[in-house]
Copies of this chain bind each other. A is one copy, B any other.
């Protein structure tokens, strides 16, 4: 289907750009001697994960058990569920493993570890568990030096569970914006997680896997010594937050929202489009970064950035486009019916607003990929 005939708002994927994103990070990590386990929460799309696997990815990371079930049904059987397990979700984990899914869960406390052990024993299986390490003080996890690390490791070494390794996510890497800063936090992520693994091993516990990652650190780490795998998600699409951090350029953003001009406020220089926050998401991830893109950066229908134009305000189904230099001749520049593409602040959040992607191929051949929603 031609871009002129697509409904608006729609989520577009630029396939050559997507393939380039997939290939570049895979090449980098392969050269560094580690596996890439992409986080499929960004796209929640089987076809995207198949591209990542074809490029060399090893296993996937998921953020929900819904993703685990959907991707397992689509032929992905090596899955890390990278959110601390809630005890009532363990029967679903057991059921997936009984069907042959090599699903791993994570914990960061003795209480959660004991819940896993109990569920595993009741099911007559040892559930593989990774311990979440807190390398950035940002969210969940056990500090690499904390005594609790060994307590949790010992709790898991007991019949219903098996300690599969340690994992961390340096989410605070999103606060960096210089190569030196990014390299420093990547090293902090690596060294903290490797240190935790060494402490567990020194205590006589197994720790085969050392899993780290975020898109900014995956692009910035100079050494990954001691790491076995890297997890990254948003690199597959990229977004304006990644551009501000410095690990992507706008032309490397593979996902955009197609919108149509529906009106103007001539005295204010406003252009109104039919993509509001329901389409773009409420994510304002660039708000405190070097360039605040509002709810997104504006491109023409061919995907060429229109410098200075952003979605400066959004209601549920209305976006308001303005230029940073103030009013322009908006009725002439953007007549009613004009189609525009909006680059997202945060691809994970924007993509989640859509049920499918319209994939733009060089051949012009129409292609639609479905994505998951909900839990």
- The answer, among B260, B264, B278, for a CB contact under 8 Å with A86, is B260
| A316 adjacent to B41 (CB under 8 Å) | yes
Q: Would you list the 7 A-B pairs with minimal beta carbon distance, nearest first?
A: A282-B282, A84-B262, A86-B260, A282-B283, A355-B374, A63-B317, A84-B263
Q: Bound complex: CA of A54 vs CA of B320, how far in Å?
A: 36
* B residues near A64, Cβ cutoff 8 Å: 317
A265: CB under 8 A from chain B? Answer: yes
A7: CB under 8 A from chain B? Answer: yes
Query: A277 → chain B, closest Cβ, in Å?
Result: 7
Answer whether A115 and B260 are a contact pair too, CB < 8 Å, given A140-B318, A316-B348: no
| B320 adjacent to A139 (CB under 8 Å) | yes
A178: CB under 8 A from chain B? Answer: no
A313: nearest chain-B partner, CB-CB: B139
In addition to A109-B263, A112-B263, A282-B283, 14 A-B residue pairs with Cβ atoms within 8 Å of each other are: A7-B375, A41-B316, A83-B274, A86-B261, A86-B336, A109-B336, A115-B337, A139-B320, A171-B315, A277-B349, A281-B281, A281-B282, A316-B349, A353-B374
A88: CB under 8 A from chain B? Answer: yes
Number of interface residues of A (CB under 8 A): 55
A150: CB under 8 A from chain B? Answer: no
* B residues near A134, Cβ cutoff 8 Å: 265
| A263 adjacent to B41 (CB under 8 Å) | no
| A264 adjacent to B316 (CB under 8 Å) | no
A9: CB under 8 A from chain B? Answer: yes
| A318 adjacent to B83 (CB under 8 Å) | yes
| A109 adjacent to B264 (CB under 8 Å) | yes
* B residues near A277, Cβ cutoff 8 Å: 283, 349
* B residues near A260, Cβ cutoff 8 Å: 86, 88
Answer whether A317 and B83 are a contact pair too, CB < 8 Å, given A354-B374, A374-B354: yes
A249: CB under 8 A from chain B? Answer: no
25 chain-A/chain-B pairs, Cβ below 8 angstroms: A10-B375, A84-B262, A84-B274, A85-B262, A86-B262, A87-B336, A88-B337, A108-B263, A109-B264, A112-B263, A112-B336, A139-B313, A139-B318, A140-B262, A140-B265, A140-B318, A277-B283, A278-B349, A281-B281, A282-B284, A282-B349, A284-B284, A352-B353, A354-B374, A355-B374
Copies of this chain present in the complex amount to 2
Q: Bound complex: CA of A283 vs CA of B283, how far in Å?
A: 7
| A316 adjacent to B63 (CB under 8 Å) | yes
* B residues near A320, Cβ cutoff 8 Å: 139
- The answer, among B41, B272, B281, B348, for a CB contact under 8 Å with A84, is B272
Answer whether A262 and B112 are a contact pair too, CB < 8 Å, given A83-B317, A373-B373: yes
A16: CB under 8 A from chain B? Answer: no
